[in-house]
Structure 1
């Protein structure tokens, strides 16, 4: 399944924001920030990336359903499950 850039624009924006946030976390660590602050910010980055991953899977599922005219019998369920579980 190929993702069109126009379909994933919001996901790309979210990932770019997470990338900047991660750079801030790294900077915090290099500057000796306290553990609690670093972990709180790192958890936020992790959550943002997870949500981006789930959004990509959801977009892929929409593609599969659209490409198969809503016929779930022709969707590779094992492949979709493997992709989804790769985020766990």
Structure 2
């Protein structure tokens, strides 16, 4: 596989993992027990911590991509 192919695999896996990681630790305004301003959606997250979740996503994706690379390199799987 070429570098471009590996990059595409990495990016697709990264997005899939991001959507799996996004709900981790989310607490909505209605669950926090605090008063919130009028006009704020009660289900919106209090502290979404997007940067932290992107770093976690990148770490998980590197591990998954590494396993994919190793499987390709050692002939455990082949893509025609």
Q: Given the two structures, how large is their TM-score scaled by the length of structure 2?
A: 0.40
Larger gyration radius, structure 1 or structure 2: 2
User: Given the two structures, how large is their TM-score scaled by the length of structure 1?
Assistant: 0.37
